[in-house]
A and B are shown apart, each in its own frame.
Chain A
Amino acid sequence: MTDTSIDSKEDQVFLNGSSYLTEFKPVFFDWTAAIIIAKKNLRLAIRYPANVLIWGILPVVWFAPFILMATAIAGPETSVYFTELSGFDNYITFSIIGWFVIMFLDNSIWGIGNNFRWEQFSGTLEPLFMAPVPRVSLLLGAAFSDSIQAVFQTSMLLGISTVIFGSRYVLTQILPIAIIMLVMIIALYGFGFMVAGLIIVFKDPSVLTELVSEVTWMISPVQYPLAALPSPVRFAAYLIPTTLAIVTIRELAITGIMNVVSFLTALCGLGLIAILFWTIGLGSFRYAVRWSRERGHMGGF
Chain B
Amino acid sequence: MTEIKRSAIFERMWKREGFRAELRAANALAIKQWKVEFSYPLSVLWFIVMPILWFIPLLITGTAVSGGAESTYLQGLVGTGDWLSYVAIGSAYAGLSISMMWGTGFALRREQNVGTLETLMTTPMGKGTLVWGSTLHNLQHGGLGVILQLCGSVLIFGVQLNIWGILPALGVVALSIIAMQGLVFTIVCVILLAKQAWMVVELLSSVLFLVAPMSYPIAVLPPALQYISVASPLTWSVEGFRGFLMEGIGSSLVLNAVGALIVLDVVFLVLGVLMFRYTERYVRMKGALSQF
Residue positions of A touching B, CB distance < 8 A: 48, 50-51, 54, 57-58, 61-62, 64-66, 68-75, 78-79, 81-82, 85-86, 91, 121, 202-204, 207-208, 210-211, 214-215, 217-218, 223-225, 228-229
Contact = CB atoms under 8 A, between A and B. Distances in A.
B120 to A, nearest CB: 18
14 contacts: A68-B215, A72-B74, A72-B215, A73-B73, A73-B83, A73-B216, A81-B66, A82-B64, A82-B67, A91-B65, A204-B43, A214-B53, A224-B57, A224-B60
Nearest to A74: B65
Interface residues of B, number: 43
Contacts of B214: 65
B133 to A, nearest CB: 20
Contact of A218 (B57, B210, B219): B57
Interface hub of A75, A82, A86 (most chain B Cβ within 10 A): A75
Given A65-B215, A68-B220, A73 B74 contact: yes
B10 interface: no
A65 B210 contact: yes
Question: Is the contact region of chain B dominated by helix, strand, or loop, or is it mixed?
Answer: helix
Contact of A69 (B53, B62, B196, B209): B62
B60 A73 contact: no
Interface in B7-57: 40-43, 45-46, 49-50, 53-54, 56-57
B220 A72 contact: yes
B279 interface: no
Interface in B83-122: 83, 87, 113
B203 interface: yes
Contacts, number: 120
B54 A214 contact: yes
A86 B64 contact: yes
A223 B53 contact: no
Contacts of A224: 57, 60-61, 64
A207 B73 contact: no
B200 to A, nearest CB: 9
B62 A73 contact: yes
A218 B50 CA distance: 12
A97 to B, nearest CB: 15
A218 B203 CA distance: 22
A225 B220 contact: no
